[in-house]
Amino acid sequence: MFPGILALVPALPFLAFVVIGLVTRPWRWLSAGVAIAAISVAFLLSLGALSFLLTAGAETPRVVELTWLTTSTLNAHIGLRLDALSGIMLVVVTTVALMVQIYSLGYMSEEPSLSRYYAYLSLFCASMLGLVLATNFLQLYVCWELVGVCSYLLIGFWYDRHAPAFAAKKAFVTTRFGDLGFLIGLIMICTAAGSFDFVEIQAKVAAGTWTAGWLGTVAVLLFCGAAGKSAQVPLHVWLPDAMEGPTPVSALIHAATMVAAGVYMVARLFFLFSASPDAMQVVAVIGGVTAIFAALIALVQDDIKRVLAYSTISQLGYMMLALGVGGMAAGMFHLFTHAFFKALLFLGAGSVIHATHTNNMWEMGGLRKKMPWTFWTFVAGSLALAGVAPFAGFFSKDAILHLVMGKNLFLFALAVLGSLCTAFYMTRVICVTFLGEARAASGHAHESPWVMRVPLVILAVLSVVAGFWHAGFERLVQGGEAEAEGLNLGFAAVTQMVPLAGILAGVMLYVLKSPDPDALAVRFAPLYTLLKRRFYVDELYDWIIDRIVLRCSAGLAWFDRHVVDGAVNGVAWLTQQTGTQLRYVQTGRVQHYALAVFGGAAILLAIAHVAGAF
Amino acid sequence: MAAVSFTVIGLVLAALAGFFGYQAATATPFWLTDVMVLPLAGGLIIMALQDKYARMTKWIAAAFSLPAMLMCIGLALAFRIDGAGGYQFAEHASWTPALGISYSLAVDGIGTAMFLLTGVIIFAGCLASWSVEHRVREFYALLLLLTSGVFGVFAARDLFLFFLFYEVAVLPMYLLIGIWGTGPKEYSAMKLTLYLLLGSAFMLVGFLALYFASGVTPLTFDMDTMLKTAYSPGFQKLFFPFLFLGFGILAGFWPLHTWSPDGHASAPTAVSMLHAGVLMKLGAFGIIRVAVELLPIGAHAWLPYFAVFTIVNITYGALVAMSQTDLKYVIAYSSVSHMGIVVLGICTLTDAGLNGAVFQMFSHGIMTGLFFALVGFTYGRTHTRIIADFGGLGKRMPVLATFFTIGGLASLGLPGLSGFVAEFMVFLGAWRFNPVLAVIAAAGIVFTAAYVLRVLQRCFWGPLNPHFADITDANRVEILCLTILAACLILFGMYPRPLVSLINSGVVGVLARVGGGG
Amino acid sequence: MMDVRSFAVIATVVFGIGVYGALARRHAIAVIIAIELMLNAAVLNFVSFSRLAAPGSAVSGQVFAVFIITVAAAEAIVALALVLALHRALKTARLDRFNMLKW
Amino acid sequence: MNGFMQAVDWSVFRDEGILLAALGVMLAVDLVRPRGRPSPSGWILLAGSVLALLAGVLRPVPDASLWDGAYVVDALARYFKALFLLALALATLASFRYMQAKAWRGEFNLMLGVSTVGMMLLVGAGDLVSLFVSLELVSISLYVAASLARDEVTSQEAGLKYLLVGAFSTALFIFGMSFVYAGCGSTSLAAIRAAIGTGPGHPLAVAGVVLMLAGLGFKIAAVPFHMWAPDVYQGGPTPMVAFASVASKAAGFAIMIRLLVGTMAGLSGVWIPLLCVMAVATMTVGSFAAIPQTNIRRLLAYSSIAQAGYVLIGIVAGTPRGVSAVLFYLLVYLFTNLAAFISVLIVSRHAGNDEIASYAGLAQRSPLLALAFMLALLSLAGIPPLGGFVGKLYLFASAMEVSTRLLWLVVVGATLSIVSLFYYLMVIRQMYIEAPREPGAIPVGPAATIALLCCIAGMVVTGIWPNGVLDLTIAVAGPLVGH
C-alpha cells in the first residue's frame, strides 16, 4: 500500500486547489470546507504513513516513480519516497497545515476572497508535501520553487496594499537568488552523475566517485538555496517583511514548514554534505551566525510578528548549526518541535492581532485577562521556544547545544548567547503584550472564537509533549542500529540556567522596570540603533539594488537605445543621407550628363589600361 | 461586384472541397498542405468578402483557424515517436525542375512541435483580435496569409520553398504593423521589415551557396539531398555565419535584436503574439534546420563564439527589460532575453540543450502570446501601456491579473509551468558545453524574476489607481483566448513528457547529423 | 601604315575637339555641331581603317561612313527642331537653362 | 558583300512587316480621317503588335541569315522580338484612356511603332553597320516620342537631353566601333569573333570594346551613363517612358548579349571586370538615389537603374545560365515595370501630378491599382512568390555558379536590394497605410484593367510556375555561348 497511496497526500490538496479555482470560487465557505477536507485526509494518511514506518521500520526508503520527461540522455522522474525524514515531515506539515486551516476559518472570516486564500493554501500544501516526498533533485527543485511561489502569492494576499505587494516580491526575488546556487549545484551534480535520483547519487557519493572538494562546492551551492529558503544570513531579509501576509500564513509557511524546507533539504542531502567537511563547516558557521544575529535583532523589534520572524530565523540557524556539526537527527528534531511551538506562537500572535487590529506590541498590553486562552497557550509556546524544561524546545535545543559543544566552542558560545536572547525577547513579548496595563489597542479586545482557540490548544499540547518523543525520533531518523543519545542531565541542568537567566532579565526590565529599558536604549544608543536598523543589511541591499543593479539596467537600456539601436538608425540615416547627397549629382544640366558619360568612358579605359588589356 | 465576390468565394470553397474530397477519395491525406491551405483559404475568402459582410470576417477567420489548430493537435498526436521519429507526413511533387525546385514538405518532431505552437497561437490570435474594427477584412486576410507562410516554413524540405514561405511570413508584418499599429508604427514597421529582410538576403546567399556547393547534378534545393552532402570544412566555415546571422536576426540575436522592441511595441495585439510567439521561432528553427544541420562543421567552429552573444542576450535583455517604462517594451525585451536561451540551447549542440531550445521555442511562443494578448486587452481598457500609469488593476480585473501572473511566472521559469522545463534543459546542456556560460545564463533568471514581479506589482498589485475605477474585466472571447494559452503553459509544465518526447525524436536526428555530445 | 596611323591621330584629335565643344559650349547649336564633329571623327576612322581591313570587308567601313553621315543628319534635324521648340518656350538656347528636370 | 543583290527571302521580315503595315495603315487612316473624329491609331497599333506577336509566337520565323550574316534570325532574336511586341501591346493597351485627349497621339503611336521595328531589326543585326543603323532608328524615334508632349516644356527638355546625351554616347560607341573595325578588319560580328578568337586581341579592338561599353551603358542606363534616365522618365510622356523603360532597356541588353557574350567572349577578361564595376555602381547609385525622391516617375527611374545593375550580374557571369537569367529577368521586368508604370499612368492622370503623396490611400480608392502597384514594387524588390524573386535568384545563382569570387557581387546585390526595398515600402506605405487625401474611387478603365491583369498574371506566373519561361530562356541562351 505504501508509498503508492501517499500520492494522495499531495494530490488531494492539489485537487482542492483546482476544485476551488474552477468550481467553488464563488462560495467561500464551501471552498474552505473543500480545502480542510483535503488536508484532513492528507493528515490522516500521513499519520498512517508514520505509524507504518514505526512498525515496519524505516531503514530503506520506499520509492515509487513515474517518468516526467525523457530524452536520449535525460531521464527525469516524479515520485514518492517514504522514509523517516519524509514520514516525519509529512506529519509536521499536515498537522500544522490542518491547524492553520481550521484557525483561518476564524481569523479570515471577514475576508471576501476566502476562496482564493484556501486555494493558495491548498496549493502550498500540495507543493510542500511534494517537496517532502521528492525522490530526486529535480522534483525537489520543482516543488521548492512551487512553495516559493505560494509563499509569494500568500504574502501578497492583500495585494491591493503596497507593503504586502512589495514584501511578496522581495521574498520571491531573495529566495530566487539563493535558488540560483541550488540550480547550479543541482546541474553540477546531476550532470556529473547522469541522474537526478537521490538513491543513485547517494550510491555514487558513497562509492567515492567525486573528490571532497568538488562535492563541497556542490554542497555549498545547494546550501545557497537552503539559506535563501530558510532565511539564513545573509539572505534572511525577506522573512521579516513576509509578515505582511495573513498571520496564519506566517504560521504555516514562514514558521513551521516552508522555511524549514532548507533544513529539510540539507538533511535529505546529508549524504552529500557530510562527504565534505568544508561544506559542513560552512553550514555550521552560517547557522551559528544566523542564530545569534537574528536573536539580537529580535531583542528590539516592536512588531510582535517581526519578533517572531527573527526568532524563526534564529531557530532555523540552530537547526543549520546542528546539521553543520553533524547532528542530523538533532537538527531535524528541532525542526519538528519548532514547527509546533512556532506555529503556536504565530497563531497566538494572530489571535492577539485579530483582537487588537495592530501589530505593534506597545499598543497592546494587559491582554492576559481578556484573552486567557491565548495567553496561556502563548506562554507555553514561549517556554518551549526558550528551551525551558520540560517543554519541547528544551529537548531539541539541548541536544543541539550538546552536540555543538563537542565540536566547536566558538559556535557553542554563539548558540548559548542566542539562547539567552531567545528567552529574553520572548519574555519581553509576553510582558509587553499580555501583562501590565492595557494600552490604546487593547481597549475592546476579546478572546478569539473557538475555531481559533482549538488549534492553539492542540498545538500547545504538542509543544509541551513533543519533546518527550526525543529518543524515538532519533532512533527513527538514525535508523535502528544507531544508538540514540540519551539526555545528559548534568549538561541539561547547566544549560537550563541560560533561558532562566534570560527570563529573569526580561522580567526585570519589562515588569520591574529596573533597569528601565528606555534608559538602556539611550545609554547604548549606537548598539540600540544598530539592532533597531537590523544591522543595516536591508539598507545595504537597497543600495546595491538601487545603485548597482538599477543603474546598470538603466545604463544598459540607454546603451541599447542609443548605441546598439543607434547604430541601426545610424546606418539608416547614412543611407538616406547618401541618397540625398547623390541626388544632387543630378544637376539637370545636360552637359554634366555628357561629362559623366565621357568621364565614365575614360575611367573604363583607364581601368582597362591599368589592368593591361591594351 | 457582388457577383465577383460570391464567385471568388465559391471558387475558393469549391477548390477547398475538391482538394479535401480528392484526398478522401484517394485516401492520401496531405496533412501538411491541408493545415497550410486552411488559413490561406480563409484569407482569400475574407478578401473576397464585400464590405457589408465585414462583421462576418472574425467568424470566418475563427472558422478557418480553429480547424487548423485542431489539425495541428491531430498532427502532434498522430506523429509516431517510437523509434527514431524522423520525417513524417512527407509530401513531394516536382515543381521547377530547371532550377531543382520541388514542392517538398515533411515534419520531424521539432517541426510538429512548431506546428502545434503555430496552430494554438493563430487561433488565440484570431480571438485576441476580436476588437479590431478598422479595415477588418484586410487585417484578418493578412494575418491568415502570414500564418500559411509560417506553416510552410516549418514544413518545407526544400530551401527555395523555405525561403518563399519565409518571406510570405515576414512581409505582411509591414502592413499589419503599419496600418493597425500604435505609436511610431511606420518607423517600427519599416525597421522590422528591412532588418528581417536584410537577414533573409544573407540567408539567400547562404542558400545559393549550399545549392551550388552540393555538387549533385542536376542541382537541387532539396534539403534531404543536401543533408547527404559533405560540404568542405572551408565552405562550411565561410557560409555558416551567413545562415546563422540571417536567421539570427529574426531570432532576436544580440546585437541584431533592436527591431524587436520597437516592432513588438508598435504592433497590434495579434501581430505581436504571432510575431514574438511564432515568427521569432522561425529564426531559431532556421538555425537548427538549415545552418546547424546542413553545415555541422561550421556549426562546431562558430557556435562557441555565438554562444557568448546569447549570454549577452539573456542577461542584457533581462536587465534592459528591468528599466523599461512601457509594458510592451518590457515584454519585448523579455523576448530578447528568452530567445537568447533558445539560441544558447542550440549553441550547446547537446541533447539536453537542443531539446531545451525547442521546448523553449514552444513555451516562449505560448507565453509571449499570452503576454501580448494580456497587454492588448489591458491597453484596450486603459489606453495606456506606461507601467507607472497603472496600479492595482488586479482589483478590477482579477481574471486578467491571474493570467498575467501565470504568464509572468512562466516567464521567470517557475517549475510547474513550461518555461522551467525548457530553461532547465538548456542550462543542463549549457553546463556540459561551458559551465561559465551556464552560470551566467542561470543568473539571468534572477533578473527575470525581478522585472517580471516588478511589473506585476506595479500594474496589478497595490492600491487601485482611481482613474481606472470602472474598467471591466476580460470578456468571454478574451477568456477563451487566454485559457487556451495558459492551459498549454500549465499542461506542458506539469507533465512535459509527451512534448519532450516529440521534440526529442527530432533532436535525435539533428544530433545524428551534427554529432554533438550526449 | 604610317598614314593610317596619322589619320587615326587626326580623327582622335577631331573627336577630342568635338568632346570639348560638346562639354564646354553653352549654346545648344554649338553643342550639336560639336557632336557632329565627334561623329565625323568616327567617319574619318572608318574610311581610313578600311585600308587595313580584310579584302572583302574594306567596303563595309566606307558604307559605315555613309550611314553615319546619314544618321547624323537625321539626329541633327531632330535636335534642331527640339532646340527651336525650347527656344520658343524659354526664349533661350543656352543648355544650362534647360534644367527644370533635375535632382 | 556580294549578297546585297541576291534574291532575298523577304519572309524573314514577316513580323516586322506586319507591324510596318499597321503603321502604314495608321498613317493613311490619320490622313483621311475627318477632323473631329477620334484617331483609331491606338487600336491599329495594338492590332499590329498583337498580330505580329501572335505570328511570331505561333508560327516562329525559322532561323535565317541574310547578307552574309548582316541580318540573322535566331532564337535570341525571336525571343526579344516577342518581348518588344508584348511591351508595345501592353503599353498601347494601357494608354488608350491617357491618350484620348492628346492631339499628338498619332505621331506618338507612330514613333513607338517605328522604334519597335528598329528594336526588332536591332536584335537581328549581325553586323556593326546594321546594328548601328537599327540602333539609331530605335533611338531617334524614342527621342521624338519623348519630346512629343507639346503641351509640356519638360517633355521637350527631356527629349533634347535624351537626344544630346544619346548622340554623345553614340559618338563614343561608333568611335569605339571604328577601332574594333581597325583591330579586327571587319564589321561582321562573325568575322570579329573569329578575329578575336580566344586570345588577348588586338589592342585597338580592346580599346574599341571599352569605348563601346559606354554606348551600351547609355542604352541600359548603367552608371555613370545613366544620368539622362531620371530626367527623361520624369519629363517624357508616361506611355513612352513605360515602353522605353522595358523595351529599350531590353534592346540594350540584347545587343550586349549579342556583342559581348556572343561575339567578344574572347575578350571577357577585359569587359567582365569593367561590367562588374558598372554593375556595382549601378546597383548602388540606383538604390541610394531613389530614396529621397518625391516624384514617382523619378523614383521608378532610379529603381530601373538599379534593376539594370542586377541584370548586369547575369551578363558578368557570361555563362548560358547567366544569359538565360538575363532573358528571364527581362521578361519578368517587362511585366513588373509595366504594371508599375500603368499604375502611374492612371494615378497621375487622375491626380494631375506625379507626387508620391498622391498615392495616399490608393488601396481604398482603387484596390486593383494598389494591388498591381504593390505587387510590382515587391517584384522589383525581389520578394517571393513573384517573378522578380525568381529572376533575381536566378541572376545571383548564375553569378555564384561561375566562381565564389563573384560572391561579393551577390552579397552587395542582396544587401542593396534591401535598400531599394526601403523606398518601395515608402510607396506601399502611401498606398496602404496612409489615409486617402481625397475621397472617391479612381477609375481604371477596361483596357488598362486588362493590361494590369496581364501584368499581374505575368508576375505571379513567372514567380510561381516559371518552368515554361525558364526552359525557353535556357534553350535560347544555350547556343549563344560556349562556341
Q: DSSP for D392-458?
A: HHHHHHHHHHH-GGGHHHHHHHHHHHHHHHHHHHHHHIIIIISPPSS-S-----HHHHHHHHHHHHH
Residue A405, classed as helix, strand or coil, is helix
Q: Which amino acid is at A435?
A: L
Give the pLDDT of residue D154. Answer: 87
The answer to whether B193 contacts D470, with C-beta atoms less than 8 Å apart, is no
The answer to whether B324 contacts A67, with C-beta atoms less than 8 Å apart, is no
Share of chain D above pLDDT 90, in %: 55
- Chains D and C contact (Cβ–Cβ under 8 Å for 3 or more pairs): yes
Per-residue pLDDT averaged across D400-409, rounded?
Answer: 81
DSSP structure string for A122-174: HHHHHHHHHHHT--BHHHHHHHHHHHHHHHHHHHTTSTTSHHHHHHHHHHHHH
The C-alpha of D184 sits at a distance from chain C's nearest C-alpha, in angstroms, of 7
Four-CA torsion A500, A506, A512, A516, nearest 10 degrees: 140
Judged against a pLDDT cut of 80, whether residue B379 lies above it is answered with: yes
Judged against a pLDDT cut of 50, whether residue A147 lies above it is answered with: yes
Nearest to B205 among D378, D414, D425 (CB): D414
Residue with cell 551566467: B440
For chain B positions 157-196, those within 8 Å of chain D (CB to CB) are 160, 163-164, 167-168, 171, 174-175, 178-179, 186, 189-190, 193-194
Give the pLDDT of residue A481. Answer: 52
Q: For residue range D42-52, what is the model confidence (pLDDT) as tens digits?
A: 889 999 999 99
Element (H, E) at D13: none
Q: For residue range B179-217, what is the model confidence (pLDDT) as tens digits?
A: 998 888 889 999 999 999 999 999 998 998 888 888 787
Q: Report yes or no: A159 at the D interface, CB cutoff 8 Å.
A: no
Q: For residue range A473-485, what is the model confidence (pLDDT) as tens digits?
A: 888 887 755 555 5
Element (H, E) at D150: none
Least confident of A73-77, A213-217, D88-92: A73-77
Average of per-residue pLDDT values in chain B: 90
Confidence of residue B311 (pLDDT cuts 50, 70, 90): very high
The C-alpha of C54 sits at a distance from chain D's nearest C-alpha, in angstroms, of 5
Per CB-CB distance under 8 Å, the chain B contacts of D417 are 201
Give A480 or A361, the one with higher predicted confidence: A361
Which domains are present in chain C? 4-97 (1.10.287.3510)
Nearest to D467 among B96, B190, B193 (CB): B96
Q: For residue range A229-256, what is the model confidence (pLDDT) as tens digits?
A: 999 988 989 999 999 889 999 999 888 8
Integer Rg of chain D from CA = 21
Residue B116 makes CB contacts below 8 A (sequence gap 6+) with B72, B73, B75, B76, B362
Average of per-residue pLDDT values in chain A: 89
Give the pLDDT of residue A376. Answer: 92
Share of chain A above pLDDT 90, in %: 45
Nearest to A584 among C31, C96, C103 (CB): C103
Sign of the Cα pseudo-torsion (B302, B308, B309, B314, in order): positive
DSSP structure string for D238-256: HHHHHHIIIIIHHHHHHHH
Judged against a pLDDT cut of 50, whether residue C49 lies above it is answered with: yes
Give the pLDDT of residue A2. Answer: 63
Give the pLDDT of residue B518. Answer: 42
* Pairwise CA distance, residues B278 & B153, whole Å: 11
Closest-approach residue (CA) in chain D for A589: D161
Q: For residue range D59-118, what is the model confidence (pLDDT) as tens digits?
A: 888 888 887 888 889 999 999 999 999 999 999 999 888 888 788 888 899 999 999 999
Confidence of residue B373 (pLDDT cuts 50, 70, 90): very high
* Pairwise CA distance, residues B146 & D298, whole Å: 32
Give the pLDDT of residue D323. Answer: 92
The answer to whether B197 contacts D396, with C-beta atoms less than 8 Å apart, is no
Give the pLDDT of residue D482. Answer: 53
8 Å CB contact between D11 and D71: no
Element (H, E) at B503: helix B497-514
The answer to whether B175 contacts D433, with C-beta atoms less than 8 Å apart, is yes
Give the pLDDT of residue B478. Answer: 92
Bridge partner list, B107: B88
Judged against a pLDDT cut of 50, whether residue C1 lies above it is answered with: no
- For the question of an ipTM over 0.85, the answer is yes
- Chains C and B contact (Cβ–Cβ under 8 Å for 3 or more pairs): no
pTM > 0.90:
yes
Give the pLDDT of residue A340. Answer: 92
Confidence of residue D1 (pLDDT cuts 50, 70, 90): very low
- Please provide residue B396's backbone torsions phi and psi, each rounded to the nearest 5 degrees: -95, -25
> Between A8-19 and A114-132, two packed helices, what is the crossing angle to 10 degrees?
160
Count of CB atoms situated within 10 Å of the CB of A509: 19
- Please provide residue A195's backbone torsions phi and psi, each rounded to the nearest 5 degrees: -160, 155
Confidence of residue B83 (pLDDT cuts 50, 70, 90): low
Judged against a pLDDT cut of 90, whether residue B281 lies above it is answered with: yes
Q: Report yes or no: C98 at the A interface, CB cutoff 8 Å.
A: yes
Q: For residue range A161-183, what is the model confidence (pLDDT) as tens digits?
A: 888 988 998 999 899 889 999 99
The two beta strands, A62-70 and A75-82, are: antiparallel
Share of chain B above pLDDT 70, in %: 99
Per-residue pLDDT averaged across A553-565, rounded?
Answer: 90
Confidence of residue A59 (pLDDT cuts 50, 70, 90): confident
Least confident of A34-38, A185-189, C5-9: C5-9
Per-residue pLDDT averaged across B437-441, rounded?
Answer: 91
The answer to whether A598 contacts C19, with C-beta atoms less than 8 Å apart, is yes
Per-residue pLDDT averaged across D321-339, rounded?
Answer: 94
Closest-approach residue (CA) in chain C for D148: C82
Confidence of residue D133 (pLDDT cuts 50, 70, 90): very high
Share of chain A above pLDDT 70, in %: 98
Taking one residue from C and the other from D, the number of pairs with CB-CB distance under 8 angstroms is 138
Confidence of residue A327 (pLDDT cuts 50, 70, 90): confident
Q: Which ranges of A447-589 would DSSP assign to H, the alpha helix?
A: 450-465, 470-478, 489-495, 497-510, 517-523, 525-532, 537-543, 551-559, 565-583
Nearest to B142 by CA among B270, B264, B55: B270
Taking one residue from B and the other from D, the number of pairs with CB-CB distance under 8 angstroms is 83
Q: Which amino acid is at C18?
A: G
Residue D85 makes CB contacts below 8 A (sequence gap 6+) with D15, D19, D49, D50, D52, D53, D56, D116, D120
8 Å CB contact between B394 and B461: yes
Q: For residue range D223-282, what is the model confidence (pLDDT) as tens digits?
A: 889 999 999 999 999 999 999 999 999 999 999 999 998 888 888 888 888 999 999 999
Element (H, E) at A63: strand A62-70
